[in-house]
Structure 1
Amino acid sequence: MKYKLEYRYRVKKEEVFFTSDWMVQSTAIVIGEELEKNKHGIDLTFYDENGTEWNLKELIKLHAEVEEEPHDFTIFFDGGYRKETNTAGLGVILYFNQGKKKYRIRANELFHEMETNNEAEYAALYHALNLLEELEVKGVTCEFKGDSQVVLNQLSGEWPCYEEALNKWLDRIEKKLSDLKINAIYTPIGRNENKEADKLATQALAEKRIYSKMQII
C-alpha cells in the first residue's frame, strides 16, 4: 500500500499547502517525523490508495502491525498453452516483504481443458491469487506484471471482453480480489522482463512441478 501526505508548511509568517507523491509507508513515516520534529509541517494528513485518512501516530501503529505480515507484493505471471493437448502451463513469481526480510515464491501448475492462450494467461493470474490466499494475505496492494496486453487491459477495464470463456475468468478473478480485499495494479511488461514466469509455465507443460520459497537480499 502506498501513501500520500498533505500538510501546511510554515515559513516565517507564511503558510504553503503541499501534497506529496505516492510513497511507501516507511518513507511516509520518516518524512512525517522530520516535518514534526522541525515544527514546519502543520496538519499532517496521510491518505492510502483506498482513500483512508491517517494521522502520523496512527500510521506508525499500523506500520508496526503490518510489518510482520506479508506486504508490498510484486507478482509476475505467465501462461503457456499447448493446443494438441488443450493444456496450460501456469508460471507465477511472488516478491514480497515480511518483517525486515524480502522473499520470493516461485510456483507453477499444469491446467487441463484449456482452449486458448488468453485463457492460460487468466488462469496463471488466478493461480497467483490462490497463492496469496494460501499466505492468508488480505487488504494489501499487489502489482501484477505480465506480457499479455489482452488480459491486463481487460482486467483494468481499458479493453472490453466479449468472449464468454474469458468473461468467466474475469468474474472469478474479480470475486477473488474482492474476497481478499486486494487493491490490484496491472503493469504490462515485455517478454524479456517475464522470462522467469515463462520458464515456469514451460516447465509445467513438461510436467515438472515447482514450488519454492526463499529469502532474498
Structure 2
Amino acid sequence: MNVRIEWTYKKPKGIETTFHSEEMSVGQGILIAEDLDRTGRSKNLIFVDDLDRTWNLKELKQYMKGIETEPHNIVVYFDGGFDLSTKQSGLGCAVYYEQNNQNFRLRKNALVEELNTNNEAEYAALHLSLLELDLLGVHHLRVKFVGDSQVVINQLKGEWPCLEEELTKWADRIENKMYNMGIKPEYALISRKENREADRLASQALKEIEITSTSEVK
C-alpha cells in the first residue's frame, strides 16, 4: 500500500496553508509525518491510501503492525500456454510476498481444457493467481502483476481496446474479482525470458506435471 500525506501548516501568527505530498510507501510516510509533527507547526495531518481510505498516524502505525503477520508486498508473475494440437492450456503463476518478516514464494499451475487461444490462457493464468491470493487472505492491498503478454497487460491497463468477446469476459471477470477483494493492481510487462519461472510452470502443466508449493525465499 502507498499513501500520500495531507496536512495544514500553521505559522506562529496564525497564517495557515494546506500541503499535499506525492505518493510514497507507508514506511516513508510515517517517518515524514513524525518529523512534521516534531516541528509543532503541522495539524490535521492525514494519510490517504491508494484505495482513497483516510488514516491518522496512530491508525496507520497500528495497521502496519497488524499486517506483519499477513501477506503483503506482493508481486505476481503469471503465464499461460495453449497447445493447438491437444486444445489444452497450461497456466502458471508465482507469487512472492512478505509475512512475519520473512519472504515467501508460492508456485501454482493448472491444466485446463475449455480455452481456445493463447490469449485466453494468459488471462486464465492471471485469474488463477487471484484465486491463490484469495486463499492467502490477500485483501485491500496493492498487488503488482507481471507478465509477458502484451495483450493482457495493455488491455487491463486500458491502453489497448478489448474487442474479442471471450477476452472481454476474462477482463471483466478479473476486474470484478479484484474489486471484490479490494486489490489495487499495478501491471508490468516483461520479456518471456524474464518470465521464465511462470512460463516453466505453464509448460509443466501441459505435461501434466502438477505444481503446488510454498517455500521461504532466503
Report how far residue 148 of structure 1 moved.
0.8
2:217 aligned partner: 216
Listed as ranges, the gaps of 5+ residues in structure 2 are none
Deviations 1:50-84 (A, max 9, x none): 11221111211221222222122111101111110
Secondary structure (helix, strand or coil) at the match of 1:29 reads: helix
Secondary structure (helix, strand or coil) at the match of 1:76 reads: strand
Q: Given the superposition, is the C-alpha separation of residues 22 and 99 from structure 1 closer, same or farther in structure 2, using an over 3 Å criterion?
A: farther
Look up the equivalent residue of 1:4 and give its one-letter code.
R
Secondary structure (helix, strand or coil) at the match of 2:96 reads: strand
CA distance in 2, matches of 1:194, 1:11: 53
CA distance in 1, matches of 2:72, 2:22: 20
Secondary structure (helix, strand or coil) at the match of 2:187 reads: strand
Report how far residue 10 of structure 1 moved.
6.9
1:50 aligned partner: 51
1:4 aligned partner: 4
CA distance in 2, matches of 1:188, 1:18: 34
State the TM-score, normalizing by the size of structure 1. Answer: 0.90
CA distance in 1, matches of 2:163, 2:76: 26
Q: Given the superposition, is the C-alpha separation of residues 115 and 4 from structure 1 closer, same or farther in structure 2, using an over 3 Å criterion?
A: same
2:121 aligned partner: 120
1:152 aligns with 2:182: no
Secondary structure (helix, strand or coil) at the match of 2:194 reads: helix
Q: 1:196-215 alignment to 2 at 5 Å?
A: 196-215=197-216
CA distance in 2, matches of 1:183, 1:22: 14
CA distance in 2, matches of 1:38, 1:193: 46
CA distance in 2, matches of 1:174, 1:53: 23
Secondary structure (helix, strand or coil) at the match of 1:157 reads: coil
Report how far residue 38 of structure 1 moved.
4.3
Report how far residue 40 of structure 1 moved.
5.3
Q: Given the superposition, is the C-alpha separation of residues 40 and 195 from structure 1 closer, same or farther in structure 2, using an over 3 Å criterion?
A: farther
When structure 1 is superposed on structure 2, of 11-20 and 63-72 the one drifting more is 11-20
1:193 aligned partner: 194
Aligned residues: CA RMSD: 2.1
State the TM-score, normalizing by the size of structure 2. Answer: 0.89
Deviations 1:18-42 (A, max 9, x none): 4333222222222222332344544
CA distance in 2, matches of 1:114, 1:42: 56
2:35 aligned partner: 34
Identity of aligned residues (%): 44
Deviations 1:113-152 (A, max 9, x none): 3211100100100000110111122211111111111111
Q: 1:121-136 alignment to 2 at 5 Å?
A: 121-136=122-137
Look up the equivalent residue of 2:28 and give its one-letter code.
T
